[in-house]
Amino acid sequence: MRVILSGGGTGGHIYPALALAEVIKQHEPDSEFLYVGSERGVESNIVPATGMAFDKLSVQGFKRSLSLDNVKTVNLFLRAVKQSKKIIKDFKPDVVVGTGGYVAGAVVYAAQRMHIPTVIHEQNSVAGVTNKFLARGASKIGVAFDVAKQQFPAGKVTLVGNPRAQQVAHIVSTFSWQTLGLRDDKSTLLIFGGSQGAPAINSAVIEAMNTFNLRNYQVVVVTGPKRYDNVLSQLNSQGIAVADNVRILPYIDNMPEVLAKTNAIVSRAGATSIAEITALGIPSILVPSLHVTGNHQTKNAQSLVDDGAALVIAETDLNGETLITAVDSLLLNDKASENMAAQVAKVGIPDAGDRLYNLIQDAILEKKD
């Protein structure tokens, strides 16, 4: 199979595409891939590092207010569509898969105009602008949340989950908390606000630190590289020491292995985070970001809360006291933690990559018919 993958802007669009490529390779080892991303997006660093062939386009998003920049956006899009047609003609894909972001809009749209099978994947509970635009011309549509199905044409859409979940679920972790000077026989909480960190979560951690120091469970705080020094400075200026059961880190580069050994997590509610949490059955306390399109993180989180698979703290309600209360309700109550872990396992879709692969096969076969 020859596959063009496209998605950009955030890791939430990129990592599902890369996870899908792994699954396709498992089914069809001779498959060939080309990833088309934006020249300024993070995918221009992430994808080439995997060894996958990469091509890039110049695109940008629309401004929500009236702006002359939107004229430039349209011109860039039309130019990107033209470039995409040439890339597609040269590569000759059997299918083009879009996972979101403006760059995927140009690539998938070009493939649709060339009558090549296209599949789009929506990771969030609220459909993104690009996928809404592409839905009408798509051959098949896969979604990660059941609630997202109603936002797409009924005859095309299928609940498949997020391919990242299958990638994480099959990891055999050899990680030990002892590498951080902690113990493997104690319950461990991971607090992670995303690759860049989350100031609101970091502030609540600082407020809660004196209490965390006294708990019997362990706490690992990942601040984000740019916020690490600030967190340490604030703790120092307030005379707050960090006890032996707490570790503060700027970043973790082997997150899936660490997650596999985590008893509970405080996290944002992005699509990739939820895919990982549900794949591993981790009880979670979700703090949805307020600064996302369509408030989709709140809706992502609510889908788990409705199934008893997570707790949620609104960012406006987040402080040291609410954080401690939520964490204690899980890590000082074995029954509550076990019940939530069981519910998380039920809502996860560990074979998401296989499901999306099957959807791609259906799209190709329908074209041949």
- Residue 183 in any domain: the answer is yes
**Token code pair at residue 338:** 């076990």
Is residue 10 a known part of a binding site?
yes
**Whole-number pLDDT of residue 127:** 92
pLDDT recorded at residue 6: 97
Residue 302 is predicted with a pLDDT of 94
Nearest to 17 by CA among 132, 100, 78: 100
HSE toward the beta carbon, residue 48, CA cutoff 13 A: 10
Structurally, the chain folds into a number of domains equal to 2
Output the pLDDT for position 107: 97
Same domain? For 155 and 194 the reply is no
The parts of the chain modelled with pLDDT lower than 50 are 63, 66
Please tell me whether residues 9 and 60 are part of one structural domain. yes
Q: Does the annotation place 166 within a ligand binding site?
A: no
Q: Tell whether residue 297 is among the known ligand binding residues.
A: yes
pLDDT of 367: 81
* CA atoms within 13 A of residue 100's CA, in its CB half-sphere: 23
Domain CATH for 158: 3.40.50.2000
Is 271:293 a contact under the CB 8 Å cutoff? no
pLDDT of residue 166: 92
Rounded Cα gap, residues 357 and 359, in angstroms: 5
Q: How many CB atoms lie within 10 A of CB 172?
A: 6
* Partners of 219 in the β-ladder: 189, 246
CB 124 within 8 A of CB 144: yes
CA distances from 100 to 10, 72, 120, 121, 178 (A): 9, 20, 8, 7, 39
252 is known to lie in a ligand binding site? yes
194 Cβ neighbours under 8 A, 6+ residues apart: 224, 268, 270, 273
d(CA 117, CA 87): 15
Task: Tell me the three state secondary structure of residue 10.
Answer: coil
Q: Are residues 234 and 267 in the same domain?
A: yes
Question: 337 and 191 in one domain?
Answer: yes
**Residue 278 marked as a ligand binder:** no
Check residue 197 and give its pLDDT. 83
User: Which domain range does residue 109 map to?
Assistant: 2-162+350-368
Closest CA to 323 of 204, 228, 161, 154: 204
Report the DSSP beta bridge partners of residue 4. 34, 96
74-98: per-residue pLDDT in tens?
Answer: 788 899 999 999 999 999 999 999 9
Q: Which residues of 332-367 are buried (b: 16+ CB within 10 A; e: fewer)?
A: eeeeebeebbebbeebbbbbbbbbbbbbbbebbeee
* 168 found inside a domain: no
331 and 206 inside one domain: yes
**pLDDT value at residue 198:** 92
- Quick one: 146 and 245 in the same domain? no
Residues written for the chain: 369
Q: In 66-79, which positions are buried (b, 16+ CB within 10 angstroms) versus exposed (e)?
A: eeeeeeebeebbee
DSSP labels, 153-195: -TTTEEE---HHHHHHHT------GGGGT--TTS-EEEEE--T
Predicted pLDDT of residue 60:
58
Looking up tokens 């509610």 gives 269
Task: State yes or no: 333 annotated in a binding site.
Answer: no
> Is the same domain home to 266 and 342?
yes
In a domain, 171, yes or no: no
Res 72: pLDDT: 65
User: How many Cα atoms within 13 Å fall on the side-chain side of residue 110?
Assistant: 27
Tell me if 105 is assigned to a ligand binding site.
no
What 8-state DSSP symbol labels residue 368?
A: H
Residue 157 in any domain: the answer is yes
**Which tokens belong to 152?**
């797409």
Residue 293: its pLDDT value, please? 76
DSSP string, 22-86: HHHHHH-TT-EEEEEEETTSTHHHHTGGGT-EEEEE---PPPSS--THHHHHHHHHHHHHHHHHH
Residue 8 shares a structural domain with residue 79 = yes
Q: What are phi and psi of 95, to 5 degrees?
A: -155, 150
167 located within any domain: no
pLDDT at position 212: 98
Q: Is residue 107 domain-shared with residue 26, that is, in the same domain?
A: yes
Q: What is the reported pLDDT for 75?
A: 83
134 & 234 share domain? no
